[in-house]
Amino acid sequence: MKTPEDRFAARLDVTGMLCPMPVLRARRKLDELNTGDMLLVVASDPAVVHDMPAFCRMAGHALIMAHVQDGKYLFEIEKGDRGSESESE
């Protein structure tokens, strides 16, 4: 039986890490994924509420959903296709 988390190609737990590490780790994990893959990021640093959406906008990824659950910040990110273009410029 499939669970809701089956739609994620990867899950990244960065709880306990402070800015800028959650965004840097998310970037590294997204680099490993294919365009259109979904990444679930779980973080505890309140600064990530501002940093992760800004990172997604700048890097061309889609922030599908962001919410708080059990005191942790969860981000559902769909990998965009701009990553390979920006690296080659």
Which residues are known to be catalytic? 19
CA 69 to chain centre: 16
Joined together, the tokens standing for residue 4 give 């809701």
Which of the 8 DSSP states describes residue 54?
Answer: H
Q: Which residue has the tokens 């970037």?
A: 27
Distance CA 55, CA 52 (A): 5
Rounded Cα gap, residues 75 and 82, in angstroms: 19
